[in-house]
Amino acid sequence: MAAYGLYTHIASNKFRSMLLLAGLFLLVYVIVYAGALVIEVLNNGDGTVDYYLKVALFDVIRTLPYSTGAALLWIVIAYFFHQKIIDAVTGGEDVTRQQEPRLYNLLENLCISRGIPMPKLKIVDSDALNAYATGLNQRQYAVTVTRGLLNALNDQEIESVLGHELTHIRNGDVQMMVIAVIIAGVVGFFAELLFRGFFNFGNYGWSSGRGSSWSSSSSSSSSSSSDSGGDRKGSGGAAIIIIIVAVVLIALAWLLSQLVRLALSRSRELLADAGSVELTKNPDAMISALRKIEGCGELPGATSAVMELCLDNPREGFSDLFATHPSVESRVQALVKYAGGHDPGPLALPSAAAPDDPSQLTQDGQVPPALPSGPWGSSGDPASAPQGTPAPPAGPWGSAAGPWGRR
């Protein structure tokens, strides 16, 4: 599907996401097929490769209602309890207008101006600078921000962050990501279950003498090959080959499930940035918010699945291959190029350079720049300096007035 504008890009992203989710669900059956191969080999070590492949496929078809039901049950449980699970991991708590009037009013004004239903508002008591949206339906939608983000960003920047998360809700990204995390969790759970079950059974089998069945079947097949013309030659080797195939299928299914989650993550962040600019009409605020959040969004104790939902995920993959989000630099450059914003470059947080006396901060919460100094100290007029600015250093005569007592 070709995309030429913002809304066609959103529609194209939804279409691709649905295809990826369908493929992700098919990986559940790949795991089931791999499990059937392992079970058939453990039950009968004398078969051939064709025998194992056909019988395992029959097992998958026969147990299709049960495997589908188990996956759907997992999804239903996550559907009703995913928000509680995320809140338990991050420590998010509901807040009201009375508790957080500044944040609540900013979110409410955005929703009213665009006719968007008001989601729940939550705060995580963390110094990290991050935010995320969750929910699968209108009653579950919630926007969560950290305390550190509220303290570090001004109103316009917070509004742009809220617009970013509201765009995720409007575009359906939240539902896609939550479902993707759930299905990928099913794949990961079954994969781990099979690995643990196989190795535990294997250890028990070898210790109890059952593991000798493969070697005995291999030796018996080779001894009878002279009489049967080699019809059963290598049956023990076939069992080993099938086990290797099953392990490869399990590992491949797990890896593909992670790649699908990445494919759903990267493009949606750029679209959410653009949606925030559309809501707030302020690309510079979105850019400065990203610059302040850059590298400061790590939520302590949060799982990788939770970090994928966040505005920024500082956890980078191997050589950026498994990074769930585009880099802040690429997102800023996209806003500069397509939204007409201005990039101030990397920004230091106000708290990192704030003086001990709060009265020395400007109205924006920033430290005022130092006045340029001439050869005798300050070259500017102290009376014209911003209120609260420290007095300029004395010149060589011990006074800023000069040697004659005049300024």
Positions marked catalytic: 165
From CA 45, how far away is CA 11, in angstroms rounded?
51
Residue 303 CB partners (closer than 8 Å, separation 6+): 89
Q: Assess contact for 294 and 178: CB atoms under 8 A.
A: no
Which residue(s) pair with 44 in the sheet?
none
- DSSP-based three-state secondary structure for 133: strand
**Residue 298: exposed, middle, or buried by beta-carbon count in 10 A (0-12, 13-18, 19+)?**
middle
Which residue(s) pair with 310 in the sheet?
132
Q: What count of other Cβ atoms lies within 10 Å of the Cβ of residue 318?
A: 7
DSSP per position, 271-301: HHHHHHHHHHS-HHHHHHHHHHHTT--PPTT
From CA 312, how far away is CA 293, in angstroms rounded?
7
H or E element, residue 232: none
What is the chain's percent helix, strand, coil content, to nearest 5? 65, 5, 30
Q: Which of 205, 146, 135, 145 shows the shortest CA–CA distance to 168?
A: 135
